[in-house]
Amino acid sequence: MISEKMSKLLERSAAMSSMYTESARLKEKYGAENVYDFGMGNPNLPAPDSIRETSIRVLQETDPWYLHHYMPNNGFPEAREKIAASLNRRFGEHFDANNIMMCTGAAGGLNCLLKVLMDPGQEILTFAPYFGEYDRYADNVGCTLTTVPPNIPTFQPDPAALEKCVTEKTRAVLIDNPNNPTGVVYNEETIRAIAAVLAKKEQEYGHAIYLISDEPYRELVFDGASVPWIPNDYKNTIVAYSFSKSLSLPGDRIGYLALRSEVEDFENIVAAVAVATRITGFINASGLQQLVCAKCCDETVDISFYDKNRKRLYDALTAYGYEMPKPEGAFYLFMKTPTENDLEFVEKIKEHRILLTPGSGFGCPGYVRIAYCVAPETIEGALPGFKAMMEYYKN
Ligand code: PLP
């Protein structure tokens, strides 16, 4: 018999698993090429060839005992050093290995970090719409996730709304930039305004409020958009990064946390993350992946592929009359549904064999997320269905 708490979590996760099942059922019935699955953010591009080549080289050249045994829980020093050097080159940081902690993807890093920062009963704030698993991460550490209402239609977070939500219990603000599910890039002006609110609230309450920036899509940006490097704007920033999307390695579970030495309680945070990796069961990130990604950390998949998909979908959908913010990052479109009931829309569009994720799962009903990390044929095949749905709701 499983715990009551887990039973509830299982129920809530059923929507996600049912998407897999539904996709498989429709593919079986109509043939895979006739099903247009935009449900999951599972990158369809393969990892660059250099990942395979580097993996082989690392396996051949590294002492197997060293590579495969337990290691310092925050990761191999040389991997952390290489990533620090890359961030120094790209963002003018002054990091060394001590500022980087390797972790098992963004999810592993965030869960370890929250374990370190949060006491049960405290609050984590985020802006809706947000990555749906944040509330479960908060629950893992006995905390609540408070959401700042969405700022429609731009979806740039509203600092004034944030100010109203921060309380004495707020210890962390968690943002996801570029954003999943909207594809919006929180710009420098927004980040500075958020930083000003948090600095004021730190003063008022007399304790640190950490700004955790979850950035698995950092390099996936278009139209010359740039993602602000938040440590420049706010002292108590901790960046969570993952190679899941930039190098198409979600199955390999590899990423890192990065923070400046000036962050309040820096040394304790670093030491405690090492402990948190153990007690949460993440122990340490895969040794092989650490060494491979450290060597390939300045590369990315072919981002122009996602850009083409983005343009094709955005142009076609807006021409049909749909509304959405023009995404500048990640590989998602967040589209307003022509009915207020996004769940109904998601059900109805299945008649056209199109699978989408309801905005309700991201704390923003009335919208759907379209993950366009798919083959161009999937987009072409789906467009008539999107058009028909708009006509259906107009009439
Ligand atoms: N954070 C965001 C915003 C995501 O979109 C995802 C995955 O899609 C994650 C975290 C988890 O990433 P990872 O696979 O690196 O753990």
Q: What is the pLDDT of residues 359-368, one digit of tens each?
A: 999 999 999 9
Specify the residue with its C-alpha closest to ligand 1, atom 12: 106
Here the tokens at position 365 are: 């009903």
Angle between helices 287-296 and 77-91 (to 10 degrees): 30
User: Mutate which of 44, 130, 176, 244 to test ligand 1's pocket (most atoms within 8 Å of Cβ)?
Assistant: 244
Give the model confidence (pLDDT) of 261-287 as tens digits.
999 999 999 999 999 999 999 999 999
% the chain with pLDDT above 90: 94
pLDDT of residue 21: 86
Name residues contacting ligand 1 (CB within 6 A): 41, 105-107, 131, 176, 180, 214, 216, 242, 244, 250, 255
Rounded CA-CA distance 257/50 in Å is 24
Q: Which residues contact 1 (CB under 8 A, 6 or more apart)?
A: none
> What number of helices (H) and strands (E) belong to the chain?
13, 12
**Domains in the chain, CATH or no CATH each:** 4-47+302-394 (3.90.1150.10), 49-296 (3.40.640.10)
What is the position in ligand 1's atom list of the atom closest to the CA of 109?
16
Distance in Å, CA 250 to ligand 1 centroid: 8
Q: Ligand 1 centroid vs 107 CA: distance in angstroms?
A: 6
| pLDDT per residue as tens digits for the range 129-183 | 999 999 999 999 999 999 999 999 999 999 999 999 999 999 999 999 999 999 9
Phi, psi of 332 (to 5 degrees): -130, 145
25-60 pLDDT per residue, tens: 999 999 999 999 999 989 999 999 999 999 999 999
387 CA from centroid of ligand 1 (Å): 31
Mean of pLDDT over the chain: 96
How does pLDDT run across 197-250, given as a tens digit for each residue? 999 999 999 999 999 999 999 999 999 999 999 999 999 999 999 999 999 999
pLDDT tens digits for range 68-79: 999 999 999 999
This prediction's pTM? 0.97
CA of 133 to the centre of ligand 1 (A): 9
Q: What pairs with residue 170 in β-bridges?
A: 123
Element (H, E) at 320: helix 303-320
Answer for the pair 256, 231: CB distance below 8 angstroms, yes or no. no
Quote the ligand 1 centre to 137 CA distance (angstroms): 12
* Residue to substitute in 112, 133, 137, 280 for testing ligand 1 pocket (most ligand atoms within 8 angstroms of CB): 133
Q: For residue 24, is it left (φ>0), alpha (ψ between -120 and 50) or beta?
A: alpha
The rounded distance, in Å, linking the Cα atoms of 368 and 308 is 20
For residue 12, pLDDT beyond 80? no
Could you give the CA distance from residue 362 to residue 370 in angstroms, rounded to a whole number?
13
Q: For the residues 107-125, what does the mean pLDDT come to?
A: 98
Pocket test for ligand 1, best of 176, 253, 257, 277 (most atoms within 8 A of CB): 176
